[in-house]
């Protein structure tokens, strides 16, 4: 009964490949997010979606494209992967009318070789 | 621009040795200040939200306090299982949505 689940947990791929990370939440939250945690453990927002609508896009390269088929799912597709994309990507969700912060998934460690 | 600065970057304590972690911030309008705990290989786990200066919240050995410029996470008589990275984050409303701006965290190690 995981609240926010991401797949895969680990992803190793070569430069230039295209990959996707999936995220699902069963909390009934309205908003979902993608955050990137770099090698220095700094968490930075990439995107947020509210009821399938893109709300925040924080100067992320066009190679990153989020897709939200419904409010319980937010996937991240990355084209033409680069070495600098190596990081841990966290999905999170929140309920707007009960501001209690985010619930995070366990992360996807992406390694580009 | 919103900024969150945490200090120290790393802290080593002996079991039972109380201490405090600092989070200083600048924001145009504070919606909430959050504390999270992150264990290696896991996502951040929510601890507290503080909304206004003077507010305090407690949970077991942890107590969070808030002023207009900073927040403290006080750890009383820590145990080895309190070892983790503690993240501070703030939120302000803007554009009809919320986003959290995180500090770089304080890595706490409690030795038995």
State how many domains chain B has. 1
The answer to whether the CB atoms of A42 and B87 lie below 8 A apart is no
pLDDT computed for residue A50 by the predictor:
85
Q: Where in the sequence is the domain holding B76, given as residue range(s)?
A: 3-111
pLDDT tens digits along A5-57: 999 999 999 999 999 999 999 999 988 999 999 988 889 999 988 888 888 78
d(CA B58, CA B74): 9
Q: What are the residue boundaries of the structural domains of chain A, listed by start?
A: 4-112
pLDDT computed for residue B94 by the predictor:
60
DSSP letters spanning A21-57: EEEEE-S--SEEEEEEE-TT--EEEEEEEETTEEEEE
For residue B102, list chain A residues with Cβ-Cβ distance below 8 A: 42-44
The domain that holds B97 is classified in CATH as 2.60.40.10
d(CA B35, CA B45): 9
Say whether A11 sits in a helix, a strand or coil: strand
For residue B101, list chain A residues with Cβ-Cβ distance below 8 A: 45
- CATH number for the region A4-112 comes to 2.60.40.10
For residue A41, list chain B residues with Cβ-Cβ distance below 8 A: 38, 85, 104-105
Q: Say whether pLDDT at A110 is over 70.
A: yes
């Amino acid at each position: 009964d995981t609240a926010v689940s991401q797949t895969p947990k680990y992803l190793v791929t070569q430069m230039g490949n295209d990959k996707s990370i999936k995220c699902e939440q069963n909390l009934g939250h309205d908003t979902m997010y993608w955050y990137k945690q770099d090698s220095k453990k700094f968490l930075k927002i990439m995107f947020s979606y509210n009821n399938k609508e893109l709300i925040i896009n924080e100067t992320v390269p066009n190679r990153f494209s989020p897709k939200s088929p419904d409010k319980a799912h937010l996937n991240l597709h990355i084209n033409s992967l680069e070495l600098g994309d190596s990081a841990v990507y966290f999905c999170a969700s929140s309920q707007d009318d009960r501001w209690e912060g985010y619930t995070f998934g366990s992360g996807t460690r992406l390694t580009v070789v | 621009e919103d900024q969150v600065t945490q200090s120290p970057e790393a802290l080593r304590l002996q079991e039972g040795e109380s201490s405090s972690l600092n989070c200083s911030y600048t924001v145009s309008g504070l919606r909430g200040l959050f504390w999270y705990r992150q264990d290696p290989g896991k996502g951040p786990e929510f601890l507290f939200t503080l909304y206004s200066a003077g507010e305090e919240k407690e949970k077991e050995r942890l107590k969070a306090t808030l002023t207009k410029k900073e927040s403290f996470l006080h750890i009383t008589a820590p145990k080895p299982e309190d070892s983790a990275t503690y993240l501070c984050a703030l939120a302000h409303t803007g554009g009809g949505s919320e986003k959290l701006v995180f500090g770089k965290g304080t890595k706490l190690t409690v030795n038995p």
